[in-house]
Structure formats: structure tokens, C-alpha cells
Structure 1
């Protein structure tokens, strides 16, 4: 994404958004693995989920080097691991100059990494290293909601050890992050201690969003959730990993396996088994995925197969080993009736999605609908996985507005979008600079993600 074009968009943003007063420059930001802010204080385990354990004001940025002129806070909060033990999580809250005071957007960005160095709370800060194309693209989308006057919270939903892909852990992290933001209502200037919330996420962020929607009725029913918006949803990890093995996106698989085996996730069930069946080469790949961000991992594992016996001794049977299959089965959305969203949902997906199987997403929607959920589903017929995120921005934002306004339809409906274009004026003149920049990214990616699919060198050009 070109810095010159980005600066044009940011100039327009700064012209209408005054710099928050009293923000102190963070001159000594630290990696989450060594930053003491991320460590739960003594006795935090006894606190209720969502309790704020620490808080700090930060200097947020665009891509690490351009100040983002909003008030930004980070909250360390108590949340829960898969085994029920207490862990600490972090959410970053962005407050525009003239916010709506009774609501906020929970924005789950797709950081898709099992390394804590890639946590959004770190990469959002001024002076932080920027190593992720995905987060860079989504940083622009997050600004759309800020420009519309929404306070936005973005949680490190993978938890303290960056457990990428276990949906139940991520969904709980999102819900406890929402609780923490609601508990921070006085400092943020909310007019209520129960602000309305809409959850948003795409791709990896949709794992967290879809599972938060699923767990909301039983885990955090007190939250005033008005709706959920998620697309490109990896609702079935087995389907996704089988779909992308030995492709340009193979690198997501070792990151997901490493994430599933983290201590806060399913380490007790998987760690010893993985250590037994993975070869030295396979262990090296997992170690790499656990210490690098998504795009670099993708480059280093491009067009390779995790289902090869060079990587692990079970070959193609790995995903169906009883121990592995049992963990993967626990993370399929829509299986349990009690995990049906009670707030309305807008779900969208590309029919030609080359990363996340379309059929898995529609199976989840069907299950939710059969269990009484209110779901609008949109098929983006002309897009690929990445292009659809960009093309769908106006539709997603419109749905967020509708959910907050209470403009809802009951039951389940579906429609289809045939266009593969993005109108830079779709959300109004003040948002045109950001949508124009997204339009530039769309051109670089190519129709139906064609450039990403055909030539890795083009992907490198897009990143640079």
C-alpha cells in the first residue's frame, strides 16, 4: 500500500478530527512478551471476567509512524482460558473527537498469528514495527467507524500467548473485552454503564466475532449486543485447513496448529501429541509460525503441505486423528443449539473464496437459522477472499448503522451481490479518501484475488 496515497487519506482525516488533548507520547513501547503492562497483577484470578486490571493512554498510529489523532486507551482485563483458568487480555479503545456516547463498535481485526509480537495492541502504537499487510488494510476500515463517530474497541482476542484459531477462546476474549470497555464507561464519557455494542470482524477476525456471537447468550448475556457483522468466516477449521493445504495460503495452517496447542487453548490435549508426530522440519515450521506474523509465515510456507509426511508422520490422516479431530470438532460453529446468536447477524461470503470454504459458512448460517436466529446472508458472487472484504465495506458499515438504529428484519434472508467494484462515495464525501485508498488496494489485489493467486511477487509489491 503506497505511503503517498495513504497520506492523502490521512490528511483528510486530520482536517476534520482535532488531536486529542493530553495524550503523552509513548517513547518506550515494548514487545508484549516483555512489556509488564500485559502481565496480570497478583490476585487477579479472583476477579470477575471483564474486570479492568490496568489501564494506560497510548499514542495510536497509522502503520506505526503516522500519529492517529484520536484519544486511545489500552485496558488489561481478566478473561478465561479454555480450561476455565484466569488469564489476562488487552483491548485497545479508540475515541474520536465527537463520539456517540451510548454505543461502541467491537472491531476484531484479523491478525492471524500465533506470535504475541503481532498483537494489535502492540502494532497500533506509534513507533511499533509493522509486519502485517492484513492489519494494515484493516486499520483503514477501522477508521471508517471512527469517522462515523463510533468509539471502537479492538481486542487481542487470541489471549496472552496468541492462540490463533481456537474460536471458543477467542469468542470469550471478545466478550470479556466488551465487558472491560463497558466498565470503563466513566473515563470514555459513555452516558450509560451498559452501552450498545455491535461486533465486527472478517476472516480471522470472523472466527472471534462468530464465536462471540455464539457464546454471548450463555457467557455474557448482560451485554447489550445489538448485532453482529462478519464475513469470510472460518466456521470449520478442518474444512479451512483442508482447503488451503499446499496453496499460497498454506502458512495459515502451522500458525493455526501452533495456536491450538498454546497453553491457554488446547495445549493439555495437543502439545505432547504434536511433539511426538511432527518431524524436525515440522517442528521448525511450527516454531517459525509461533514467532512471526502472518504475512511472513505465508511467504515461508507458500505452496507446501502440512499434510505431508515430511512435516508430520501421519500425513493426510493428521486432521482426522481422534485427538486432533476432537479439538477441531469443538470449534465448529453452529453445532450446539445453545450456541445460537440471539442478537441479529449479518454474514457475508465470497462464492469463490479461495481461502475459506463457502459451504462451511453457509452450513453455519443454516444451522443458526434452524435454531431460530435472525440472519441476513449475502453472497458476493464476483469476489475472492481479500477483494470481498474491501467490496463489502459499505454493506458492512450500513448493517452496523442499522443494528444500532434498530432497523431489523426477523427471520433469515439472503441476497447476492454481483458487482466486484467499490464506489468511493458509497459512504459519503467525508469517507471518500479512505474508500479511495481501499480501491487502490483492490486494484493491486486483482479481480477475484487473481494477482494473489497467480504471482507471489505481486503480493510482495502490494505489501511494499
Structure 2
């Protein structure tokens, strides 16, 4: 098996920290470590948040122009969403409005891959920090959509605590972000059909949103969802990972820490870390991709954790299962476009096939495309043109094809 690549956001959700067999004196109990509050007061949760309904617009702010989106205006929308326990949270989405927008024109929610434990890693900040991962991979794609007259929403789908790895949370924030974009005054999206697109970690948020929508947001006028490279079962992935030092261990540890933030009462990872582990954790607490990779490079669980019984704790694996789409009994009510490489060493193909087979059996129109690429990120590039063409046909009202 090839080593994990850095874009597999949730591949190592419980990963090596849960599987450690190291022994030694345990540190004093450590609570989960949360990101520093965003210094921009716009992101703060307002009083009375619980009284607002999911998707309710809390605030809208015009943003400075972005030079690499020359045909679009930019708005930041704050809205009410829901965390994994059903509690109210404030979330944000950035809406790009094309200069040639027409009433009722499409709205695309694009879920970008966010590797981070810090609030500054969110897409709404990365757009203005000129994050090369966003600029080089997403900007050409999004400009093509803006030129079609589509509005594009980019949700900060890890939520206010940057809960890296919490896939179901990302789906809920995605749906509430669409609700908010359509309700926000001045954006002209109230009558717009909507669709969703994402790959890898962004594909996970997209796929979860599609599966949750019938129960969580049944009123939305969704026409389809295109999701590629989606880890459909993170529990299977976690079981398959080893304990050897790895250059990308930082992302594995970050995903585990992000899930601890979302499930602090059921996933006490920090209590199982030795002093070295707590030091690495502190270095990661507000890190984005580069910092996470650097802090954990060539580390391992055996080096950073004390002996633990978490591997046998049913609460731990229940969290992984709750965030594994293969095990979720809901099915989308909209057509699905899915793409992946059959030789990706990190995404269990069986889990993808099982999920799609269940969708087909429930009557979902599913088009699944395989790309003979040995590289996860190359597969994203190969599949995006077909995904966008598929979405365009859905917006035009054409019947969805199926490979079921």
C-alpha cells in the first residue's frame, strides 16, 4: 500500500493515536484543545442563536474584490447551523456572484478541501490569504462556473471549532449554507435551483449533504450532487492504518484532534497523550496544511501516546461509524455523479461500491465514473470536467443518466 497522501482529510480519523501500544506513565488529564477564537468579530455567534432556525441568515458582509475572480462580487454570509449533537452553531459561507447573474440562475455550493485545525484555515480566510492549494486547484474551475452565470457558495464546512474529520457536520453546514445563500438579501438567489460539488474531504461534505438533505433540508430545491474521491467508511480506513512513522502523520493526528473537538465526551484522545504528544498537539492547535504536516512529519502514535484502551472502546468506533456514509441508512433524493480511481490505495473501493449499490437499489439515479489514475489528486482533475458537464445538464432539467 502506498503512503497516505496529504489530501486525505479524514483518512486517519482515529488512526494511530487509537491503536498505540506504547507504555509509560500517563500525563495529567488533558482536555481537548480548541482553536483560538477568530479575531474577526463577524464570525462570533450572536446572542439568541438557539432561537434561529437552521439556515437562518445572521449577518451579511460585502467583501473586498478578489482579483482572480474578476467577474464576481464577494459576500460573506453568517448563518445558523447545527453541530453533531444537534446544538446550534454559527457558520459562514462565501458567495461569489457573477456580473451577468440572471434571476433564477443556478447556485452551486462548492465544498473545497480544508486541511486545518485553525479558524484561519477556513476557505473564507484562505481566499484572501492567497492559499496556493485553493488558487491553483479551485480558481480555474470556479471561474468557469461564474462565466456560465452561476453563483458559487463556498462554505467553511469544518465549522467554528475547525472540527477536521467530522464528515456529518460538514454535510449539515453545507445544506444550511445553501439555505442561507438563498435567503440572504441582495444576492438574488431566492428562486435559484442548487447543486453541490466536491472532491475528497470536500466530496465527503458534499456526499453527506446529499444523503442528509431529505430529512435535514427537504425544502431545498436541489438538482444533483457531484462528489469524487469520497472515503465512504472511515472506520474501515482507521482499522487498516498502521503504526509506523510517516511523513504525513500530522494530518492523521489532526483529524483525530478535530473529531475530539466535536465529540469531547466520547473521544478523550488528549488524555491518552504523553508529554511529547501534548507538545505536538499544541503546535497543531491552530495549524493549516503546512503546519500540520511539519509538526507531525515522521512521527507515530507509539511515540506520542501512552497505552490506551480506546481501541476497544465502543464509543470510539461508534463515532467513526456515525461519520461513515456506507453505514448511514439515509439515501439522497437527487441524482448523484460519483468518480474515483479503482486503484487509489486509501479509499476502500468496496465501501464506495456498497454505498452506490444501496443508492441504486433505492431508486437513486447514480452515474459512477472510474479513472485509471494511480494518484488521488490527479483523479480530481480528470473528473472535474465531466462533473461540471453533468451538473450543467441537471440545471437545464435534462434527465439524469445512470450506471446502476
TM-score, structure 1 normalization: 0.73
Q: Which residue of 2 aligns with 1:325?
A: 317
Q: Which residue of 1 aligns with 2:256?
A: 257
Tell me if the contact between 1:132 and 1:293 (Cα under 8 Å) persists in the aligned partners.
no
Q: 1:182 to 1:240 in 2, by over 3 A?
A: same
- Per-residue Cα deviation, 1:229-251 (whole angstroms, up to 9, x for no partner): 01010222233445665554433
What SS does the corresponding residue of 1:187 show, helix, strand or coil? coil
Q: Which residue of 1 aligns with 2:44?
A: 39
- Per-residue Cα deviation, 1:193-237 (whole angstroms, up to 9, x for no partner): 242111000011011101101100000000001000010102222
Tell me if the contact between 2:163 and 2:259 (Cα under 8 Å) persists in the aligned partners.
yes
| C-alpha displacement of 1:132 | 5.4
* Segment of structure 1 superposing worse, 366-375 or 92-101: 366-375
Q: Do structure 1's residue 311 and structure 2's residue 308 form an aligned pair?
A: no
Alignment of 1:93-242 (within 5 A): 93-102=95-104, 103-125=106-128, 128=129, 130-131=130-131, 133=133, 136-184=136-184, 186-190=185-189, 193-241=190-238
Tell me if the contact between 1:254 and 1:285 (Cα under 8 Å) persists in the aligned partners.
no
Query: Unaligned 5+ residue runs, structure 2?
Result: 1-35
Tell me if the contact between 1:109 and 1:135 (Cα under 8 Å) persists in the aligned partners.
no
| Larger helix share, 1 or 2 | 1
Task: Tell me, in whole angstroms, the C-alpha distance in 1 between the residues paired with 2:84 and 2:166.
Answer: 9
Tell me if the contact between 2:163 and 2:258 (Cα under 8 Å) persists in the aligned partners.
yes
Task: Tell me, in whole angstroms, the C-alpha distance in 1 between the residues paired with 2:281 and 2:179.
Answer: 33
Tell me if the contact between 2:103 and 2:191 (Cα under 8 Å) persists in the aligned partners.
no
Tell me if the contact between 1:202 and 1:231 (Cα under 8 Å) persists in the aligned partners.
yes
Q: Which residue of 2 aligns with 1:281?
A: 276
Task: Tell me, in whole angstroms, the C-alpha distance in 2 between the residues paired with 1:295 and 1:374.
Answer: 39
TM-score, structure 2 normalization: 0.84
* Higher RCO, 1 vs 2 (CA within 8 Å, ≥6 residues apart): 2
Task: Tell me, in whole angstroms, the C-alpha distance in 1 between the residues paired with 2:37 and 2:98.
Answer: 26
What SS does the corresponding residue of 2:380 show, helix, strand or coil? helix
Tell me if the contact between 2:335 and 2:365 (Cα under 8 Å) persists in the aligned partners.
yes
Task: Tell me, in whole angstroms, the C-alpha distance in 2 between the residues paired with 1:374 and 1:279.
Answer: 49
Q: 1:303 to 1:404 in 2, by over 3 A?
A: farther
What SS does the corresponding residue of 2:249 show, helix, strand or coil? coil
What SS does the corresponding residue of 1:114 show, helix, strand or coil? coil
Task: Tell me, in whole angstroms, the C-alpha distance in 1 between the residues paired with 2:325 and 2:332.
Answer: 11
Q: Which residue of 1 aligns with 2:78?
A: 76
Question: How many residues are aligned here?
Answer: 366
| C-alpha displacement of 1:99 | 2.1
Q: 1:85 to 1:377 in 2, by over 3 A?
A: same
Task: Tell me, in whole angstroms, the C-alpha distance in 1 between the residues paired with 2:287 and 2:127.
Answer: 17
